[in-house]
Chain A
Amino acid sequence: MKRVVISLLGLMLFAGLTATASEAGKLLIWADDSRAPILVEVAKDFTAVYGVEAIVQEVSFGDIKSQLATAGPAGEGPDILLGPHDWLGELILNGLLEPIVLTPAQVEEFDPVAVDAFSWGNLLYGVPYATENVALIRNTDLVPEVPATFEELLTIAKGLTDLEAGKYGFLIQQPDPYHTFALYSAGGGYIFGEDEDGVLNPCDIGLDNEGSIAGATILDQMVKDGIEIAGAGYGEVVGAFSAGNLAMMIGGPWTLADVKAGGINYAVSAIPPIGGNAPGVFVGVQGFMVSAFSENKVLANLLIKDFLISSDVMLGLYIQGDRPPAYLPALGFLAGNPDIQGFAAAAATAIPMPKIPEMTSVWNAWSDALELIVNQEQDPTTAMQDAANEIRALLGCD
């Protein structure tokens, strides 16, 4: 019986693959479950105008990148896919993306940071639709005023923390370099340095420079003061905040749905200056890309340029994920929205998230270092030096 079931499943998989391959004269779009419904509507409009079938296939967010690598070259992949800009390096190195040509007038309609994020060399590989970065999110019932400095923030946090009652003042999810980067960047910490031409140099690693170690030391002190707690992952932090047990957190637009559902009065603002310096945060950009193995490149470009680049679609996508649109006309409609203003204030000193494939080793070595600091297994200086040396060794920079 088991064999029958397995072989039936195999056949279904096979049938499923053949039914949804990219084929000439039929567009296939890969998007995750939250964004697929909006694209289905766009696809219908496209079919009505051009008489060309456009199918939106739901692929879970974590699978899009890896499945494209195998499905694309086998002729089974999509024409259009949706994803963040930091996939770019790996996808381009694997020969999976096709450049997109926009007119200068079209480019001007987008946030320059977002266009920059989707550029590789002098070519554009994706049309951005949303920018995302972290900011300080606080419970306005517990912390009515934005702390003027990070030091003040920590003092307030310490006063609000009561571990025995399950009350927390301020948490940064750990081990998570992306959310912790503000501590590092304020003092001059960076991941990869740039050469004179503005090209990233993967061997100039700044994770053990003075600023980075200062940032790691702040985190270490937060743990010693009982503010930061081991085991505070995404679920724990957002859960505690949404339940009213956490006063302040560093979080992105994606947390807002839970926070709103918890009925919390909240406000979004820039992370206050650390040691007098405004901290930088990473900006991630989401966008539409065209597969290099698409057999419908002209149609795919047509769908993106004439149908997806519109305020209606961009605002629809905003409602799905609370991510500020990268399309300026759509962003204009939201100018009065306090959440958007808060994230924009935090992004004033933002740094685009590096998109070179070397980042995989950085994220892992760095989060290992953060975990060792939070667990108090290693002092911050040694942890960061070990992490930086690990990355240098992995990238062959010695």
Chain B
Amino acid sequence: MGPPDGRPLYPYMIWRYVAKHTAKIILLGTLVGASIYVSVFLLTKGMYIPAVMPLIGSGFISYIFLSQKRYPLRWLVPGVIFLTVMVVYPIGYTFVSSFTNVGTGHMLSKEQTIRQLLDRCYVPDAAVVYSYVAFANDDGNLALLLESESATILYVDGNAEELSLPDARLIDEDGDGEIDRYEDYARLSFMQLAQRVSEIEDFRIEYGGTTISLVNLHEFRTRSPLYAYDEEAETMTDQQTGVAYTAVDGIFTSESGEEIYPGYKVWTGLSNYLDLLRNPAVSRPFGKVFLWTIVFATLTLLLNFALGLATAVLLNDPFLRFRTLYRVLMIIPYALPAFVTILIWRGLLNTGFGTINQVLVSLFGAGARVPWLSNPWLAKLSVLLVNLWLGYPYMMIISLGALQSIPSTLYEAARVDGASWWQRFSRITLPLLLIPLGPLLVGSFAFNFNNFTLIWLLTEGRPPMLGTLTPAGETDILISYTYRLAFEGQRGNQLGLAAAVAVVIFIIIATISAINFRMTGALEELSKNV
């Protein structure tokens, strides 16, 4: 690629060209190299799908940066990649999980479960104990010499061989009666043995129809595998009792209903979704929680926007003194971390010990306690008020910015026409504000729809709903209800069911957002006529 025709080719141009492309190739090379490293690492961990991702990603990036035709794409690619990694992948993972029974008792994959079960042993009646010494050659290969009361076994390269002593390959160099080497394998010292004992514990030595394995630092013992697995029939058979366990819903179960744990993940199709509809324990509170979620998100949006806008209009008044001071003071709730302030509010609102009630009691006597967080209606009010305190500065900031963009000529014209303050606000300020703020308001609605932090830190969804069959609270919103369902339900975690609820929430929010964007689009149409 030279300079365009008609211009002389100066040497600095060539240098710049070379430098630019060398840098590009070095950077892309590093990226590809790193992604290959990551892929190999993930492959060794058995994570096949995540392992392919970096390769596809780095290949795609290289293509875009090396191809002239795809030049404009390079501005989009970083965003798209992060969107994929941080948004699309988790959504996909949740979606996939919602069709499985993953949860307590079903956390492992089938392979892991079978491997773990086949590794279980029992000590047969005629168990033999072996003491052993270990040797290693220069390549680091291990050799073991096992000794029981009746036999001496040499284990090298995966083969067990019975020795009749003395054997010429075993050498006692210093004549102290202890064997020091086997051929070119030197005996391991105590520390060397400890450092390599984790390799030795994986050895399963087949000898005389039995399996010998390590039980502690100093001993091997004959052990028989507890289960035999029939891959065709998918059955585990207990070798001691002869009972056969068949795979049922991701767990090996005997005919009498006895189960061997751990179980494993299996596809369960739509059963998690059907549970949401069929199981009254889940579906009954769902409607009530859903309604409160909508009310909470809507009221929060309206209250926060109203207060934020009102303060913004006030602070926008050029005749107000100390404007900067007020602005700083009003932004404080937004600037402090919500994790801290919500907990402070929780303490302030505590029925028996909170500062607010202590003040009330000292003013009006012991009967004046207000059950801020324990009465169902007051708890809802408290949640809304605390969220108002937390959220209005954000609305104020964005409104302040948007207010600046409304041309003052419009107000002057309105004044000339004799419009009142309210007419100017409702006919000029509000419609013109909603155009830039619309998307932000939709975002705020979606955020509060899933505002787990606020609910969990302030009330944990409490107080409890009366007469429900699942743990559900009066201030629970869908996301905190999902959390309870996942981690506080039946027996341990029900991650699959929770994933199904999460997918339902995702669909709800996506729909609401889509409708909202339509409506803001309609507002934009309206603005053309202003």
Contact = CB atoms under 8 A, between A and B. Distances in A.
Interface of A: 3, 6-7, 18, 24-25, 50-52, 69, 73-75, 89-90, 92-96, 101, 163-164, 166, 226, 229-233, 236, 240, 292, 295-299, 301-302, 356-358, 360-361, 363-365, 368-369, 371-372, 374-375, 377-378, 386, 389-390, 393-395
A299 B470 CA distance: 44
B361 A164 contact: yes
A356 B105 CA distance: 12
A187 B383 CA distance: 39
Interface of B: 41, 45, 47, 78-79, 82, 86, 104-105, 107-109, 112-113, 116, 190-192, 194-201, 214-217, 261-263, 281, 350-354, 358, 361-362, 365-366, 371, 373-376, 462-464, 466-471, 473, 484, 487-493
Contacts of A90: 104, 492
Contacts of B192: 51
Contact of B489 (A24, A298, A394): A394
29 contacts: A6-B82, A6-B86, A24-B198, A25-B199, A52-B195, A73-B107, A92-B262, A95-B108, A96-B107, A96-B262, A164-B365, A166-B358, A230-B351, A231-B351, A231-B353, A296-B201, A298-B197, A298-B198, A299-B194, A299-B198, A361-B490, A377-B374, A377-B466, A390-B468, A390-B470, A390-B471, A394-B281, A394-B489, A394-B490
B371 A230 contact: yes
B261 A95 contact: yes
A25 B202 CA distance: 12
B261 A92 contact: yes
B45 A232 contact: no
B362 A164 contact: yes
Closest 6 CB pairs of A and B: A95-B262, A229-B352, A368-B464, A51-B191, A231-B351, A50-B194
Contacts of B200: 298
A360 B217 contact: no
A25 B466 contact: no
Contact of B191 (A50, A166, A386): A50
A297 to B, nearest CB: 6
Contacts of A393: 281, 469
Contact of B198 (A25, A240, A377): A25
Given A25-B195, A372-B466, A390-B469, A163 B104 contact: no
B217 A298 contact: yes
A371 B462 contact: yes
A51 B488 CA distance: 44
Given A3-B82, A90-B104, A371-B464, A301 B216 contact: yes
Nearest to B112: A73
Contacts of A101: 215
A347 to B, nearest CB: 27
Contacts of A301: 216
Nearest to B343: A235
A297 B86 CA distance: 36
A166 B352 CA distance: 10
A24 B199 contact: yes
A236 B463 contact: no
A298 to B, nearest CB: 5
A247 B109 CA distance: 54
Contacts of B198: 24-25, 295-296, 298-299
B23 to A, nearest CB: 18
Given A95-B113, A371-B464, A372-B466, A232 B353 contact: yes
Contacts of A229: 351-353
A162 B468 CA distance: 37
A398 B451 CA distance: 36
A93 B113 CA distance: 11
B462 to A, nearest CB: 6
Given A93-B261, A231-B354, A375-B374, A360 B488 contact: yes
B216 A372 contact: no
B488 A361 contact: yes
A375 B373 CA distance: 10
Contacts of B468: 390
A297 B201 contact: yes
A292 B116 contact: yes
A371 B462 CA distance: 9
B467 A386 contact: yes
Given A51-B194, A296-B198, A163 B361 contact: yes
Contacts of B470: 390, 394
A226 B361 CA distance: 14
B105 A94 contact: yes
Given A361-B491, A372-B464, A95 B116 contact: yes
Given A51-B195, A233-B350, 16 more contacts: A3-B78, A90-B104, A94-B492, A164-B365, A229-B351, A231-B352, A231-B353, A292-B116, A296-B198, A360-B488, A361-B488, A361-B489, A369-B464, A375-B463, A377-B374, A386-B466
Contacts of B467: 386
A81 B61 CA distance: 42
Nearest to A396: B490
Contacts of B215: 101
Nearest to A300: B198
B108 A94 contact: yes
Contact of A378 (B86, B366, B466): B466
Nearest to A120: B261
Contacts of B351: 229-231
A364 B471 contact: yes
A101 B122 CA distance: 13
Nearest to B365: A164
B203 to A, nearest CB: 11
A375 B375 contact: yes
Given A240-B353, A364-B488, A93 B201 contact: no
A25 B201 CA distance: 11
Contacts of A394: 281, 469-470, 489-490
Contacts of B214: 298
